[in-house]
Amino acid sequence: MKRLLAASLTGLALLSGSALAADLPPAPQVYKAPAVVAPAYNWSGFYLNAGGGYGMWNADTQLFTPGGACLACVVQTFGGRGYLGTVGGGFDYQVGGLGMGAWNPMIVVGLMGDYNFESLKGTIADGLVGASAQIKETASWAGGARIGLAFGPSFFTYMNGGATGTRFGGTSFVSDVTGAPLGAGSAAFWKTGWYLGGGTETSLAPVLPVGFFLRSEYRYSYFNTTTVPVIAGGVTALNVGWHPVVQTLSTSLVYKFNWQ
Protein backbone atom coordinates (compact mmCIF):
# COMPACT_ATOMS: atom_id res chain seq x y z
CA MET A 1 0.00 0.00 0.00
CA LYS A 2 2.82 2.36 0.86
CA ARG A 3 4.59 1.54 -2.38
CA LEU A 4 1.44 2.24 -4.39
CA LEU A 5 0.94 5.58 -2.65
CA ALA A 6 4.55 6.64 -3.31
CA ALA A 7 4.33 5.71 -6.97
CA SER A 8 1.07 7.66 -7.31
CA LEU A 9 2.59 10.77 -5.74
CA THR A 10 5.67 10.56 -7.99
CA GLY A 11 3.56 10.28 -11.14
CA LEU A 12 1.42 13.21 -10.05
CA ALA A 13 4.53 15.36 -9.52
CA LEU A 14 5.87 14.50 -12.94
CA LEU A 15 2.55 15.34 -14.60
CA SER A 16 2.32 18.62 -12.72
CA GLY A 17 5.86 19.59 -13.74
CA SER A 18 5.18 18.83 -17.38
CA ALA A 19 1.99 20.87 -17.38
CA LEU A 20 3.74 23.81 -15.68
CA ALA A 21 6.58 23.71 -18.19
CA ALA A 22 4.09 23.70 -21.05
CA ASP A 23 2.45 26.86 -19.64
CA LEU A 24 5.75 28.81 -19.41
CA PRO A 25 6.72 31.13 -22.36
CA PRO A 26 9.67 29.96 -24.53
CA ALA A 27 13.12 31.07 -23.43
CA PRO A 28 14.32 34.19 -25.32
CA GLN A 29 16.96 33.58 -27.98
CA VAL A 30 20.26 35.38 -27.58
CA TYR A 31 21.12 37.47 -30.71
CA LYS A 32 24.54 36.84 -32.13
CA ALA A 33 26.00 39.41 -34.53
CA PRO A 34 27.36 37.93 -37.74
CA ALA A 35 31.04 37.29 -37.58
CA VAL A 36 33.21 39.83 -39.39
CA VAL A 37 35.52 37.98 -41.71
CA ALA A 38 38.82 39.81 -42.03
CA PRO A 39 40.58 39.61 -45.39
CA ALA A 40 43.32 37.02 -45.54
CA TYR A 41 45.72 39.60 -46.96
CA ASN A 42 46.98 43.08 -46.13
CA TRP A 43 48.51 45.57 -48.58
CA SER A 44 49.96 47.73 -45.79
CA GLY A 45 53.74 47.95 -45.68
CA PHE A 46 56.93 49.23 -47.27
CA TYR A 47 58.16 48.31 -50.73
CA LEU A 48 61.03 48.88 -53.17
CA ASN A 49 60.86 48.90 -56.96
CA ALA A 50 63.24 48.96 -59.92
CA GLY A 51 62.67 48.76 -63.66
CA GLY A 52 62.76 50.58 -66.96
CA GLY A 53 60.67 52.06 -69.72
CA TYR A 54 60.26 54.52 -72.55
CA GLY A 55 59.78 58.29 -72.41
CA MET A 56 59.04 61.24 -74.65
CA TRP A 57 59.14 64.99 -74.16
CA ASN A 58 57.81 67.91 -76.18
CA ALA A 59 58.86 71.51 -75.57
CA ASP A 60 57.27 74.72 -76.85
CA THR A 61 60.00 77.30 -77.49
CA GLN A 62 60.37 81.00 -78.32
CA LEU A 63 63.46 83.20 -78.76
CA PHE A 64 64.09 86.43 -76.86
CA THR A 65 66.86 89.02 -76.70
CA PRO A 66 68.90 89.26 -73.49
CA GLY A 67 66.71 92.23 -72.62
CA GLY A 68 63.49 90.22 -73.03
CA ALA A 69 62.26 91.41 -76.45
CA CYS A 70 60.75 88.75 -78.69
CA LEU A 71 63.01 87.62 -81.55
CA ALA A 72 61.05 84.61 -82.83
CA CYS A 73 57.54 85.06 -81.50
CA VAL A 74 55.98 82.08 -83.27
CA VAL A 75 55.97 79.10 -80.90
CA GLN A 76 57.96 76.14 -82.20
CA THR A 77 57.59 72.66 -80.71
CA PHE A 78 60.53 70.27 -80.48
CA GLY A 79 60.68 66.81 -78.97
CA GLY A 80 62.82 63.96 -77.77
CA ARG A 81 62.45 60.21 -77.30
CA GLY A 82 64.38 57.50 -75.52
CA TYR A 83 64.71 54.99 -72.71
CA LEU A 84 64.89 55.24 -68.95
CA GLY A 85 65.69 53.24 -65.85
CA THR A 86 63.89 53.80 -62.56
CA VAL A 87 64.37 53.01 -58.85
CA GLY A 88 62.05 53.92 -56.01
CA GLY A 89 60.11 52.92 -52.96
CA GLY A 90 57.19 53.81 -50.76
CA PHE A 91 54.69 52.85 -48.09
CA ASP A 92 51.07 51.72 -48.54
CA TYR A 93 48.25 51.51 -45.99
CA GLN A 94 45.14 49.37 -46.43
CA VAL A 95 42.23 51.50 -45.19
CA GLY A 96 39.32 49.06 -45.49
CA GLY A 97 36.86 47.41 -47.84
CA LEU A 98 33.99 48.79 -49.91
CA GLY A 99 31.61 46.01 -48.86
CA MET A 100 30.87 44.86 -52.40
CA GLY A 101 30.05 41.23 -51.72
CA ALA A 102 32.53 38.58 -52.74
CA TRP A 103 34.75 41.11 -54.52
CA ASN A 104 34.98 43.53 -51.58
CA PRO A 105 37.93 45.54 -52.97
CA MET A 106 40.19 47.15 -50.40
CA ILE A 107 40.99 50.89 -50.45
CA VAL A 108 44.76 51.42 -50.30
CA VAL A 109 46.55 54.77 -49.88
CA GLY A 110 50.27 55.43 -49.83
CA LEU A 111 53.30 57.66 -50.24
CA MET A 112 55.97 57.06 -52.90
CA GLY A 113 59.13 58.45 -54.46
CA ASP A 114 61.40 57.49 -57.35
CA TYR A 115 64.38 58.57 -59.46
CA ASN A 116 64.83 58.02 -63.20
CA PHE A 117 68.04 57.70 -65.17
CA GLU A 118 67.08 58.90 -68.65
CA SER A 119 68.38 59.27 -72.18
CA LEU A 120 65.55 61.08 -74.00
CA LYS A 121 67.27 62.73 -76.97
CA GLY A 122 65.92 65.50 -79.17
CA THR A 123 66.89 68.45 -81.34
CA ILE A 124 66.21 72.17 -81.01
CA ALA A 125 66.70 74.69 -83.81
CA ASP A 126 67.34 78.41 -84.09
CA GLY A 127 65.49 79.55 -87.18
CA LEU A 128 67.14 82.99 -87.10
CA VAL A 129 70.68 81.85 -87.85
CA GLY A 130 70.19 78.33 -89.28
CA ALA A 131 71.59 76.62 -86.21
CA SER A 132 70.52 73.55 -84.27
CA ALA A 133 71.65 71.58 -81.22
CA GLN A 134 71.10 68.20 -79.65
CA ILE A 135 69.47 68.25 -76.20
CA LYS A 136 68.78 65.32 -73.89
CA GLU A 137 66.64 64.81 -70.82
CA THR A 138 69.03 62.98 -68.53
CA ALA A 139 67.25 62.49 -65.19
CA SER A 140 64.09 63.10 -63.20
CA TRP A 141 62.69 62.62 -59.71
CA ALA A 142 59.15 62.40 -58.35
CA GLY A 143 57.49 62.29 -54.95
CA GLY A 144 53.84 62.14 -54.06
CA ALA A 145 50.88 60.01 -53.04
CA ARG A 146 48.69 57.34 -54.55
CA ILE A 147 45.26 55.81 -53.94
CA GLY A 148 43.72 52.70 -55.43
CA LEU A 149 41.73 49.51 -55.07
CA ALA A 150 43.14 46.08 -54.26
CA PHE A 151 41.11 43.17 -55.64
CA GLY A 152 42.25 40.32 -53.45
CA PRO A 153 45.92 39.62 -52.74
CA SER A 154 47.02 39.56 -56.38
CA PHE A 155 45.87 42.73 -58.17
CA PHE A 156 46.01 46.46 -57.37
CA THR A 157 45.08 49.42 -59.58
CA TYR A 158 45.88 53.00 -58.59
CA MET A 159 46.25 56.68 -59.48
CA ASN A 160 49.13 58.85 -58.26
CA GLY A 161 50.31 62.44 -58.35
CA GLY A 162 52.68 64.91 -56.79
CA ALA A 163 55.79 67.01 -57.42
CA THR A 164 58.50 66.22 -59.95
CA GLY A 165 61.72 67.63 -61.32
CA THR A 166 63.70 66.94 -64.48
CA ARG A 167 67.16 67.70 -65.82
CA PHE A 168 68.00 68.68 -69.39
CA GLY A 169 71.62 68.48 -70.47
CA GLY A 170 73.68 71.25 -72.01
CA THR A 171 73.71 72.04 -75.73
CA SER A 172 76.25 73.07 -78.37
CA PHE A 173 74.88 74.69 -81.53
CA VAL A 174 76.18 73.77 -84.98
CA SER A 175 75.47 75.10 -88.47
CA ASP A 176 72.52 73.44 -90.20
CA VAL A 177 74.43 73.74 -93.50
CA THR A 178 77.96 72.62 -92.66
CA GLY A 179 77.60 71.02 -89.24
CA ALA A 180 80.46 73.18 -87.96
CA PRO A 181 80.36 74.31 -84.29
CA LEU A 182 79.17 77.89 -83.87
CA GLY A 183 80.71 78.48 -80.46
CA ALA A 184 77.34 78.92 -78.77
CA GLY A 185 75.41 76.72 -76.39
CA SER A 186 73.47 76.43 -73.16
CA ALA A 187 74.24 74.89 -69.77
CA ALA A 188 72.38 71.97 -68.20
CA PHE A 189 69.45 72.91 -65.98
CA TRP A 190 66.80 71.44 -63.67
CA LYS A 191 63.09 72.29 -63.83
CA THR A 192 60.35 71.42 -61.30
CA GLY A 193 56.66 70.81 -61.92
CA TRP A 194 53.87 68.33 -61.15
CA TYR A 195 52.79 64.93 -62.40
CA LEU A 196 49.73 62.67 -62.63
CA GLY A 197 49.74 59.00 -63.42
CA GLY A 198 48.28 55.59 -62.83
CA GLY A 199 49.01 51.92 -63.12
CA THR A 200 48.55 48.38 -61.91
CA GLU A 201 50.43 45.87 -59.75
CA THR A 202 50.03 42.13 -60.26
CA SER A 203 51.39 39.37 -58.04
CA LEU A 204 54.11 37.19 -59.57
CA ALA A 205 53.50 34.27 -57.21
CA PRO A 206 54.09 31.37 -57.70
CA VAL A 207 56.60 32.25 -60.44
CA LEU A 208 58.59 34.28 -57.90
CA PRO A 209 58.51 34.10 -54.09
CA VAL A 210 55.62 35.73 -52.22
CA GLY A 211 55.98 39.51 -52.09
CA PHE A 212 57.11 40.13 -55.68
CA PHE A 213 54.80 42.12 -57.98
CA LEU A 214 54.95 43.46 -61.54
CA ARG A 215 54.03 47.15 -61.90
CA SER A 216 53.04 48.90 -65.14
CA GLU A 217 52.60 52.68 -64.99
CA TYR A 218 51.87 55.70 -67.21
CA ARG A 219 52.90 59.19 -66.05
CA TYR A 220 52.32 62.72 -67.39
CA SER A 221 54.60 65.51 -66.11
CA TYR A 222 54.02 69.22 -66.66
CA PHE A 223 56.53 72.07 -66.27
CA ASN A 224 56.09 75.83 -66.52
CA THR A 225 58.12 77.89 -68.97
CA THR A 226 61.71 78.58 -67.99
CA THR A 227 64.31 80.86 -69.59
CA VAL A 228 67.44 79.12 -70.89
CA PRO A 229 70.33 81.48 -71.77
CA VAL A 230 72.35 80.70 -74.91
CA ILE A 231 75.96 81.77 -74.34
CA ALA A 232 78.30 82.85 -77.15
CA GLY A 233 81.72 84.38 -76.54
CA GLY A 234 81.15 84.37 -72.80
CA VAL A 235 78.00 86.52 -72.94
CA THR A 236 74.29 85.81 -73.32
CA ALA A 237 73.46 86.00 -77.03
CA LEU A 238 69.77 85.19 -76.65
CA ASN A 239 67.30 83.47 -74.36
CA VAL A 240 65.15 80.46 -75.16
CA GLY A 241 61.70 80.18 -73.56
CA TRP A 242 61.46 76.46 -72.72
CA HIS A 243 58.08 74.90 -71.84
CA PRO A 244 58.28 71.07 -71.70
CA VAL A 245 55.84 68.26 -70.95
CA VAL A 246 57.05 64.67 -70.43
CA GLN A 247 55.23 61.34 -70.76
CA THR A 248 56.64 57.99 -69.66
CA LEU A 249 55.64 54.33 -69.68
CA SER A 250 57.50 52.06 -67.28
CA THR A 251 57.51 48.50 -65.98
CA SER A 252 59.03 47.68 -62.60
CA LEU A 253 59.65 44.72 -60.34
CA VAL A 254 58.24 45.51 -56.89
CA TYR A 255 59.13 43.77 -53.63
CA LYS A 256 56.76 44.28 -50.68
CA PHE A 257 58.24 43.68 -47.23
CA ASN A 258 56.32 41.61 -44.66
CA TRP A 259 53.74 40.70 -47.30
CA GLN A 260 50.77 38.83 -45.86
Nearest to 214 by CA among 18, 28, 53: 53
pLDDT tens readout for residues 17-51: 444 444 545 655 655 555 545 556 789 999 999 99
- Give the pLDDT of residue 130: 83
C-alpha distances in angstroms, 162 versus 111, 183, 190? 10, 39, 17
Q: How many CB atoms lie within 10 A of CB 86?
A: 22
- Give the pLDDT of residue 32: 59
Residue 15 has pLDDT above 50, yes or no: no
* Adjacent-strand bridge partners of 60: 77, 243
Tell me what the pLDDT averaged over the chain comes to: 86
Q: How confident is the model at residue 10 (pLDDT cuts 50, 70, 90)?
A: very low
Which whole number is the average pLDDT over 79-96? 96
Q: How confident is the model at residue 90 (pLDDT cuts 50, 70, 90)?
A: very high
**246 compared with 175, residue with greater pLDDT:** 246
pLDDT tens readout for residues 96-155: 877 666 678 999 999 999 999 999 999 888 766 788 999 999 999 999 999 999 999 999
Q: How confident is the model at residue 208 (pLDDT cuts 50, 70, 90)?
A: confident
* Adjacent-strand bridge partners of 167: 139, 190
Which whole number is the average pLDDT over 56-71? 92
